[in-house]
Amino acid sequence: MSTEFHNLSSYDASSVPDGTGIKIGIVVSEWNSNVTNKLLEGAYETLIKFGVKADDIIVEYVPGSFELTYGTKLLIEKTDVHAVIMLGCVIQGETPHFTYVCQSVTHGATELNLKYDIPVIFGVLTTNTLDQAKARAGGRHGNKGDEAAITALKMVALNAKFS
């Protein structure tokens, strides 16, 4: 969680597992692409930094955040990834649509984590404004994509520990 006291891109590099030999899927929402592309850039660069080969990162796009769960399900069922990162951005508007999308995607990510033996990482920004989203996509609060990539590596390591 990003607060004024914690930056999304702050982490202890020595606590991040090596990504050598790990295959990661990333599903990215095209909606709010000015934000989600920055999230993707952060996740991709962080995975590379910790040893995941470019050829072992599968990136797929879906129209919006609502579709992230289905795109993730496809990557899990049709590829040999060790984890999937869901990247999206939902910004509060004037209607309840925000609430429905956020609840659906959150619930869908939880369901996928419970159904499959592959970690699904929630890298979806749910903000009140575009400025808040930009601050969390490479701005003053860091990049949620970095955080999601580190979480993926840690969860793959945890999964391997118990396999």
Query: Which entry of 6, 82, 97, 141 is annotated as an active-site residue?
Result: 97
Tally Cβ neighbours within 10 Å of residue 38.
21
What pLDDT, on the 0 to 100 scale, is given for residue 44? 98
Which of 19-23, 68-72, 84-88, 100-104 comes out lowest in average pLDDT? Answer: 100-104
The Cα–Cα gap between 27 and 121 comes to 10
pTM for this predicted structure: 0.94
Cβ 138 vs Cβ 38: under 8 Å:
yes
Q: Once rounded to an integer, what is the mean pLDDT over residues 64-82?
A: 98
User: Is 107 considered catalytic here?
Assistant: no
What's the mean pLDDT when you consider all of the chain?
94
Q: Do residues 149 and 16 touch, judged by C-beta distance below 8 A?
A: no
Residue identified by tokens 């869901």 is 86
Question: Do the beta carbons of residue 25 and residue 72 sit within 8 Å?
Answer: yes
Domains annotated for the chain, with CATH where assigned, are 22-161 (3.40.50.960)
**pLDDT for the residue numbered 11:** 80
**pLDDT on residue 60:** 98
Query: Does the pLDDT at position 38 exceed 80?
Result: yes
